[in-house]
Amino acid sequence: MPNPANAYNELITLVKEAALLGSIGSLLGWDERVQMPPRGADHRANQSSLLARKVHEHGTAPRIGELLAQIEAAKTADPDRAANVREIRRQYDRATKLPASLVEEMAKTEVLAQQAWGDARAKNDFPAFAPWLEKWVTLKRQQATCYGYTGHIYNALLEDFEPGETAENLSRVFESLRAPLVDLIGRIVASGRRAPLDILERRYPADGQAKLARQAAAAVGFDFNAGRLDVSLHPFCSGIGPGDTRMTTRYDENYFGDAFFGVLHETGHALYDQGLPHEHFGTPRGDAVSLGIHESQSRMWENLVGRSRAFWSHFMPKARAVFPDQLKDVTEDQWYFAVNDVRPSLIRTESDETTYNLHILLRFELEKALLTGDLSVPDLPAAWNQKMKTYLGVDVPDDARGCLQDIHWSGGSMGYFPTYTLGNLYAAQFFEQARQDLGDLDAQFGSGQFAPLLTWLRENIHRHGKRHRAPDLVQQITHRPLSAEPLLNHLRHKAAELYGV
């Protein structure tokens, strides 16, 4: 008779081996976007596609299915084991539905399409990228068909990023935000108050920005002995494995906010990766709950902490030390207003807390339409521009600042964008609870004490890995289901403070 304990140990060994192979792929991906020479793209595509096939074959081996069946036949009271078996079963069932040829083709397309996107964005040439996007739409439809789905085709892809979520539910959630946000933005614009953005648009040399960004990342808890910060076209964070978490940013010497808050954002992701239990690496217990929960960590450190008045009462002297000439005539109140400016804008990654979710709504609707065929790829720029005008009142001057601005579609990440809004919702609700549990967070931030919040996040979120699904985690921590109210309350409070509305 099979021994469930032996079967479980063998299963974990196989799963960890697949994760090690996957981490090699992550390293190749980081290198591709940070330091690979342009002419290496074809070879890297071949490397990535071969490795993706090997990872897929390893993770879909019949032996894993046999072991799961043996383990599931014997109930367990161990919560770690139960979580691992539950999530490995889910991943195995999905992975075995994908043919290796499709997995290999998607990995190869990701490398080549991202290179094409980078060139097209630099040259403002959407037609050059369009064939790659058309290929991705075809591949994603194939992937969704292999998975199978109920309701919208989008649900099959969303499951990869936010397990259990549906396009139908997201549409309802987004609708609960749309009207209050449009109303709030309208009142802010009508207030006539304008933040002094010119103080962010002075010349801030990249080396000084890099120094200050590293100070901020270290201050909130990023371990540079277990990570790095580099430069790439599009900022990202990659958790290669225990002791190796890599962030990137980009510097605009004529705008302070892009790199600084981008680094705080990626630091939030990195802190989550560095806080996952290393002993469980390669298993669900050593992995993040979902992309939405991951995004909650980045948005919390970027916005709820990094744009707070308390943060800058502590960090303004450090900024003045690095940029004495640029900030000599700037008060703390002016700086706080500038970094919390609210106004409709073109670029998602540079948009403010209040308008950000409308950028996500736009992308969510376009993705759904591309997948169903209601929108053709050649018509995407016009559809994008129309929605930007309708939702944000913004005229898009070119595709580089329009539908080519994000890297996600070039990597085939359809279903990813909604997790950003979910992250904002999770972040606000978690932060509200942290205030209740930890006392005066503003006083702590003002004196440079960020460790209490990080410890709270590690205790309540990071250390659990995938022990809980996202809705259960929110309920457990905050004692209620996910709600839009904490985020709306936060945004309204700041608007009242700065804009008097």
Q: In this structure, what are the phi and psi dihedrals at residue 246, rounded to the nearest 5 degrees? A: -120, 130
Q: In this structure, what are the phi and psi dihedrals at residue 247, rounded to the nearest 5 degrees? A: -115, 155
Token digits of residue 365: 């609707």
Residue of 110, 266, 295, 367 marked catalytic: 266
Distance of alpha carbon 8 from alpha carbon 72, whole angstroms: 10
Query: Among residues 199, 500, 147, which one has the least CA distance to residue 336?
Result: 199
What single letter denotes the amino acid at residue 204? Y
Strand order in the sheet with 227-231: 227-231, 244-249, 237-241
Helix 353-372 / helix 485-499 crossing angle, nearest 10 deg: 140
Quick check: is 279 catalytic? Answer: no
What lies within 8 Å, CB to CB, of 172 at 6+ separation is none
Distance of alpha carbon 270 from alpha carbon 10, whole angstroms: 30
Quick check: 151 and 459 in contact, CB under 8 A?
no
Distance of alpha carbon 232 from alpha carbon 329, whole angstroms: 32
Place of tokens 């330091």: 35
Distance of alpha carbon 342 from alpha carbon 340, whole angstroms: 6
Quick check: 357 and 424 in contact, CB under 8 A?
yes
What lies within 8 Å, CB to CB, of 303 at 6+ separation is 353, 427
* Enzyme catalytic residues: 266
